[in-house]
Structure 1
Amino acid sequence: MSNLPFGFGLPDPDKRGENEPEGGGPQSGADAFNQLGQMLSQLGQMLSQAGSSSGPVNYDLAQQIALQKLSGTEGSKIGFASGGDSDSAVRDAAHLAELWLDGATILPAGANKTVAWSARDWVQKTLPTWQRLCDPVARQVSGAWVEALPAEAKQAAGPLLSMVGQMGGMAFGSQLGNALAQLASEVLTSTEVGLPLGPDATSALLPANIEKFTEGLELPNSEVLVFIAAREAAHQRLFSHVPWLRQRLLATVEEFAHGIKVDTSSLEQLAGQVDPSNPASIEEAMSSGLLEPKTTPEQQAALTRLETLLALVEGWVDVVVAEAVGDRLPGADALRETLRRRRATGGPAEQTFATLVGLELRPRRMRAASALWKLVGDRHGIEKRDGLWSHPDLMPTAEDLDDPLEFSDRLSEQAGLDTVDPLAELERTQKPEGESEDNSDSGSGEAKP
């Protein structure tokens, strides 16, 4: 294994005698040059095989790795209709779920189509959003990697520094590809991680994963499919008709990632673990924990806002789906609790993502948010409850989750809110000028929640 970052470091004069072969300095210089040439040749071959990438992450490589790992692991998408086509089973379940949701929320249907995805479909359809989420942290790390090189190495390397960037992009791409493959084999819908990962106005369910999830639940497959379709449809209603929400969620993740600080001493240690002739050593080094970020106060504030907003989204979906399903599905309560626990605790795939991007996409206070939305709906009606989504300033805060009764009482005191037409407010925020105004607010430090 090389003790230098990609062969760009210079020999230590104090240790030259230990490393020189018999014959002295000239022979040692020739050997070093030959070794560097061999390394660069190997690097060139690796880069040419990994596809092109102009950013801090080699997304071509990430997709290749993810799809290769998933190849052969998926059977047919058939299984949810007694051997029938899973696409039609998914569409039927979504249609029924939308009918039930119409009576539980003022927000209209948000998806104009519902599709059945394989795990490979999930990787390909969600990769553009992952690119937006992963680029900030990768850019921070790759920039610090170059800064960690000694000045002599930078001067000697010259244009070859771009190759260092490509190697970093390959390392991130490799780790991202493995994480995406693991996530794709577990997620049930396009919105399960709490973010709008897929195309706009498209509900997507993964029948093969849902079928695996159903094993051991002692519930009919059809009931599970309808319940999960209702959760996906409820998410889509929010993301489609609350225009500031999508931007606020993604912007808060980006804000967190932009604040990541990299310890250059760790980068130097990491570089010493990389053998350019062994691609596996790159992945091992990147996953060694040396780059585990140290959370700054600014990041902690962004993390708190993100966790609160995720909890409010998941809590609202939890309450609305429970009210929509009601007694229609006998196993709904048990299934609701199972999904609550699954979402709150996460799994190996979410932990992999947390290591990669530096945060956990968990609604830690989902139960508190569910209790708040239930209370507001019971005391003020679903019109006022759902009307709170019309503007971010109306949304409950982290402090409100601690005292939902006080928040509900405050709503009663706000006589002006009674005159607001929630649907009219939602339509107003969907206008271009309103949307741009909300988007401009999303990056500010004063954003709520």
Structure 2
Amino acid sequence: MEVVDWGLARSTARSFAPRGPGGTPEDARSAVAELRALARYAVDPVRERTGLDAGHAPGAIVVDRGAWVDSNVDGFRVVLAPLLERMATEQPGVVTTVGSRLTAVELGGVLAYLSGKVLGQYEAFTTSSTGRLLLVAPNIVAAERHLDVDTRDFRLWICLHEETHRVQFSAVPWLSQHLVGEIHDYLALSEIGVGDSLKRLMQGLGSIVAAVRGDAGASLVDAVQSEDQREVFDRITALMSLLEGHADHVMDEVGPEIVPSVAQIRERFEKRRGEPGAVDGLARRLLGLDAKMRQYTEGRSFVSHVVDAVGRDGFNRVWTSPETLPTRDEVLDPAAWCTRVVPDLLA
């Protein structure tokens, strides 16, 4: 018996996922077609701006909320595998039918809520050799209506951000496994007894719900983190700040050239990010990064500073190996990263 009834988690999330933003079938088909076209269009500007080539990696896939749920149930299985295997092996008595189903319902409820918020997501947590970039069409349509912005401009702006994530993981072959490995290391360092793991996991899921409802101090990390895990957590925080900041930097650098209303979109979108319940990706809330670090603004500031100081190619040394990634302190002090990694390029 598995610790989590994954089939029940999937069906629960699908059943309770919010309905779409409304519209005719023709409206839906038109939105999907335009998102596909804009995702393809975003490939060249992002490649030219980043200097990174994703090669023949799969392009973006436009999905509905149910397909996003399916992807993230599989992602949770990958991320939580070490913890759940440890529980099932060392203390099989803690795994019961009731517990397995209760955990599944909790997880399904969280995913159902998030399925109505996430605009796009790269599948970094996957058992396949290559992840996919997902664009969640009903959420993008709902967001553009809520923000009252130009439809095509907003969709292209989102595609630029998400395409940058696809390029990051596709052009840097070690990145995905490195991120998964860091999270597995984080779970492996848990000091709590395995008999308490299920309880902690349930508390963590409850913290996710609180976080997505707008509680700035709630996070899964705070619910389960031990002292020994903080060093690993800081590395994960720095990496996620880099990834999100880089994507924001690229979309804003490319935006003025091909997205006429980019200034209005950025202003309104930043306000949306601060609203209770606004969620841009599962990892943000899963890892509690909103409460720990203003990853978008700090990450974007880091990337902009480094690019200004040593150029795009100098910045791209960040993708050389895990050792060239910025530390959490270096994200806040980009000059220190430059001194450590690219001293030869400093004037």
Residue identity matched to 1:311: S
Note the C-alpha offset of 1:309: 0.6
Asked if 1:99 corresponds to 2:30, the answer is no
Match of residue 58 from structure 1: 5
Q: Deviations over 1:301-356 (max 9, x none)?
A: 1111111110011111111121122243233234335555666887377999899x
Which letter does structure 1 place at the counterpart of 2:158? I
Change (3 A) 1:165 1:337: farther
Matching of residue 318 in structure 1 with residue 248 in structure 2: yes
Per-residue CA distance 1:226-270 (angstroms, 9 max, x = gap): 1111111100000111122111212222222333444799899x8
Q: Give the equivalent residue in structure 2 for 1:11.
A: none
Q: What is the alpha-carbon distance in structure 1 between the residues aligned to residue 196 and residue 341 of structure 2? A: 51
Aligned partner letter, 1:62: A
Does 2:140 correspond to 1:210?
yes
Counterpart of 2:321 (choices 380, 388, 391) is 391
Deviation, structure 1 residue 409? 4.8
Give the Cα separation in 2 of the matches to 1:351 and 1:203. Answer: 12
The one of 66, 80, 88 equivalent to 1:134 is 80
Q: Match for residue 405 of structure 1?
A: 335
- Secondary structure (helix, strand or coil) at the match of 2:288 reads coil
More off after superposition, 256-265 vs 223-232: 256-265
Q: State TM-score, norm by structure 2.
A: 0.78
Deviations 1:128-184 (A, max 9, x none): 2111123344456677986xxxxxxxxxxxxxx48x533222121111111111111
Q: Residue 278 of structure 1 corresponds to which residue in structure 2?
A: none
**Mapping of 1:343-422 within 5 angstroms?**
347=277, 359-362=287-290, 364-409=294-339, 413-414=343-344
Query: Aligned residue for 2:124?
Result: 196
Alignment-derived partner of residue 87 in structure 1: 32
SS in 2 for 1:190: strand
Q: Write the distance in 1 (CA, Å) between the matches of 2:180 and 2:160.
A: 23
Q: What TM-score do the two structures reach when normalised by structure 1?
A: 0.62
Once residues 216 and 85 of structure 1 are traced to their aligned partners in structure 2, the CA distance between those partners, rounded to angstroms, is: 19
Kept in 1: contact 2:35–2:62 (CA 8 A): yes
Among all aligned residue pairs of Structure 1 and Structure 2, give the percentage whose two residues are the same amino acid.
21
Q: Give the unaligned 5+ runs of structure 1.
A: 1-53, 147-160, 271-282, 418-449
Aligned length: 326
Of 251, 262, 276, 1:332 maps to 262
Other structure's SS at 2:313 match: helix
Give, in whole Å, the separation in 1 of the partners of 2:161 and 2:144.
16
TM superposition shift of 1:371: 1.6
Contact residue 324 and residue 341 of structure 2 kept, 8 A: no
Instruction: Quote how far apart the aligned CAs of 1:77 are.
Output: 8.3
Equivalent AA in structure 2 for residue 168 of structure 1: G
Q: How does 1:108-187 map to 2 (within 5 A)?
A: 108-109=53-54, 111-138=57-84, 161=93, 164-187=95-118
Shift in CA distance, 230/139, structure 1 to aligned 2, threshold 3 Å: same
CA 1:189–1:382 in structure 2 vs 1: closer, same or farther (change >3 Å)? same
Structure 1 CA distance, aligned partners of 2:283 and 2:52?
31
User: Once the 2 structures are TM-superposed, how far is the Cα of residue 99 of structure 1 from its aligned partner?
Assistant: 2.6
Please say if residues 141 and 262 of structure 1, whose CA atoms lie closer than 8 Å, have aligned partners that are also in contact.
Answer: no
**What secondary structure does 1:243 align onto?**
coil
Q: In the aligned structure 2, how far is the partner of 1:188 from the partner of 1:384?
A: 31
1:223 alignment partner, one of 142, 147, 153: 153
Pair 1:69-2:13 in alignment: no
Question: 1:19 corresponds to which residue?
Answer: none
Preserved contact between residue 234 and residue 327 of structure 2 (Cα < 8 Å): no
Question: In structure 2, how many angstroms separate the alpha carbons of the residues matched to 1:309 and 1:179?
Answer: 24
Equivalent residues of 2:63, 2:134 under 8 A apart: yes
The DSSP-based 3-state class of the residue aligned with 1:103 is helix
* Counterpart position of 1:435: none
Q: Is the 8 A contact 2:120 2:280 kept in 1?
A: no
In the superposition, relative to structure 1, how do residues 77 and 234 fare at CA in structure 2: closer, same or farther (>3 Å)? Answer: farther
The residue aligned with 1:253 is: 183
In the aligned structure 2, how far is the partner of 1:352 from the partner of 1:409?
33
Partner of 1:10: none
Which string of whole-angstrom CA distances, capped at 9 and with x for unpartnered residues, describes residues 38-66 of structure 1? xxxxxxxxxxxxxxxx4221101101111
Letter of the 2:288 counterpart: E
Partner secondary structure for residue 259 of structure 2: coil
Counterpart-to-counterpart distance in 1, 2:255 and 2:281: 31
Q: Structure 1 pair 190/397, CA: closer, same or farther in 2 (3 Å)?
A: same
Alignment partner, residue 214 of structure 2: none
* CA distance, structure 1, for counterparts of residue 188 and residue 24 of structure 2: 43
Q: Distance in 2 between matches of 1:204 and 1:267?
A: 31
Could you tell me how far 1:408 is from its partner in structure 2?
3.3
Paired letter, 1:370: R
- Alpha-carbon distance, 1:365 to partner: 3.5
Q: What is the CA RMSD across the aligned residues, in angstroms?
A: 3.8
SS at 2:120 equivalent: coil
Question: Which residue matches 1:235?
Answer: 165
Which 5+ residue runs of structure 2 have no aligned equivalent? Answer: 211-219
